[in-house]
Amino acid sequence: MAWKDHVRNVVPYTPGEQPESKNIIKLNTNENPYPPSNAVKQALHDLDTNDLRLYPSPKATDLVKALADYYHVEEDNVFVGVGSDDVIGMAFLTFFNSSKPILFPDISYSFYSVWADLYQIPYERPALDENFKLKKEDYYKENGGIIIPNPNAPTAIYEELANIEDIISHNRDVVVMIDEAYIDFGGKSALSLVSKYDNLLVIQTYSKSRSMAGMRIGYAIGNKELIQYLNAVKNSYNSYTMNAPSIIAGVASLQDKPYFESTVDRVIKTRERVKKQMKEIGFLFTDSLANFLFASHKMIPARELFEELREKNIYVRYFDSARIDNYLRISIGTDEEMDQLLHELKKIVNKRGI
């Protein structure tokens, strides 16, 4: 017998490429094209590195307080982690501990099945309808828990809060997680339902709307019992997950609401403008309420578009998976970056005489 016989074998998730070159237009990982607020810059600049010799607050107290204030909840309604991946992974481990399958849409964030495999959680994936919309009745059957991304990725589709609430209320005996990584770009958050449903956990992130993917900050808001369980598991794994710079920068970002709103607004404006222009050259879209487009061309296969853009140093995301293999996921960049994209797309379309 070799030590290899007892290794946990997992199929590793492949994240979007992080090219080292600066000459690339990077529209492949849904990062925000605008930098974080100057308040973040100032806070990191003022960080006293002498304090780094000490462990950070194990509860990330300052950040939890700031988030509680921001969302008008109590501190014990808030859990923070190293990006929303950390928060959701921890929540899977904590709450999806039944022998019944958990449920999530067949097309959704690809990490869900990876976490389920990692923790040996059974799962089923009800199919979205032909327009990639959720069929809420699929979530009425017995299950071990539910996770739904809203807006969904990579489809960019936002589900009305009434549908989300319907699913939560049909599943009071399990934990329902709503993964709202993209909610700030036009959707209505389920946070308003947290006080009503003790089985609801809402997860958000600093990586998209707050332009801080590099800091790794995610958080969950839910009733205090859920948060307590989550903290118990987190403290069993690693008491000090969030480092000192993240706590400080996370607080600072919340203090500059006008900047946050203005960058979100710019991303939305660019999105709508680009949609219109792409439509003119034959693209079709889902109705995106995220910071990316899920686009398909009437004539040109997505894979070809992906490869030709790549040759021009424009990186978008292509998923070689059933049902979505003729779509591109295109993050919204700056106006200049999107103009460059449009320019190249036009050339690709014209070349084919379409």
Name residues contacting a copy of itself, limited to 1-40 (CB under 8 A). Answer: 1-13, 15, 18, 26, 29, 31-36, 40
338 or 345: CB nearest a copy of itself: 338
For the CB of residue 219, give the shortest distance to a copy of itself in the complex, in Å. 15
Nearer to a copy of itself, 241 or 286 (CB): 241
By CB under 8 A, is residue 175 in contact with a copy of itself?
yes
Q: Which of 63, 73, 78, 96 binds a copy of itself (CB under 8 A)?
A: 96
Give the span between the Cα atoms of 15 and 18, in whole angstroms: 8
Q: Is 203 in the site for a copy of itself (CB under 8 A)?
A: no
Picking from 183, 226, 181, the residue whose alpha carbon sits closest to that of residue 201 is: 226
Rule CB under 8 A: say whether 265 interacts with a copy of itself. no
> In 127-223, which residue ranges form alpha helices assigned H by DSSP?
161-169
| Binding residues among 135-174 for a copy of itself as defined by CB under 8 A | 144-145, 172-174
From 75, 82, 69, 77, select the one nearest 255 (Cα to Cα).
Answer: 69
Q: Considering beta carbons, is residue 33 or 149 the nearer one to a copy of itself? A: 33
Among 192, 195, 238, 262, binds a copy of itself (CB under 8 A): 238
* Identified binder of a copy of itself from the candidate list 249, 293, 324, 330, rule CB under 8 A: 249
- Asked if 43 and 249 count as a contact pair (C-beta separation under 8 A), the reply is yes
225 vs 336 by CB, closer to a copy of itself = 225
In angstroms, the CA 228 to CA 95 distance is: 12
Show the beta-strand stretches assigned E in 33-153: 78-81, 102-103, 123-124, 146-149
Q: Please tell me the distance from the alpha carbon of residue 105 to that of residue 167, in angstroms, as a whole number.
A: 13
Q: Which residue's CB is nearer to a copy of itself, number 229 or number 285?
A: 229
Is residue 262 near a copy of itself by the rule CB under 8 A? no
- Which residue, 12, 71, 21, 25, is CA-closest to 204? 71
Nearer to a copy of itself, 178 or 305 (CB): 178
* Parallel, antiparallel or unpaired: strands 292-297 and 314-315: unpaired
